[in-house]
Amino acid sequence: MIRNNAQDLENSIKFRVEDCETLVKSRITETYVKNLGKQIENAIIDSFDRKNEDTIAEIRDICNSFGRNQEIFFKETDDSLINYRTELKRFETEFNNKVGRKDLKKVQEVFEDHQKFYEA
């Protein structure tokens, strides 16, 4: 009986020691926490870097697009100015052909004649 009790006690102690070993192995250590923290930190930094790279690429695309649009705007503006100047010269020529200096002088002479008639 004593031998049986001793065997039971030994088995019980063995079980408890194995249980403690299992608990110690699964226990979170300071090193584990530091390593896990470093992994999380690196993951956040990598994510932030990728986001910054994407943002920088988007800004670069916007700037390039703005530059192209600006070039197009300046070209269209120059073309419009050339067209307006051409149209203005055409209008000036047409106006001078329709109402020439001779016609203006004739109108002035007629006006002067009418003015002399009314004064007399």
For residue 28, what is the DSSP state? P
- Going through the chain in order, the beta strands assigned E by DSSP cover none
* Amino acid residing at 58: E
- Which pTM was predicted? 0.38
Arithmetic mean of pLDDT, 15-39: 83
Tens digits of residue pLDDT in 42-101:
998 888 888 888 888 888 888 888 888 888 999 999 999 999 899 989 988 887 777 666
What is the residue extent of each domain of the chain? 30-119
Question: What pLDDT score was predicted for residue 60?
Answer: 87
Tens digits of residue pLDDT in 98-113:
766 677 778 788 878 8
- Report the distance separating Cα 3 and Cα 95, nearest Å: 134
User: For residue 84, what are the CA distances in angstroms to 40, 80, 99?
Assistant: 65, 6, 22
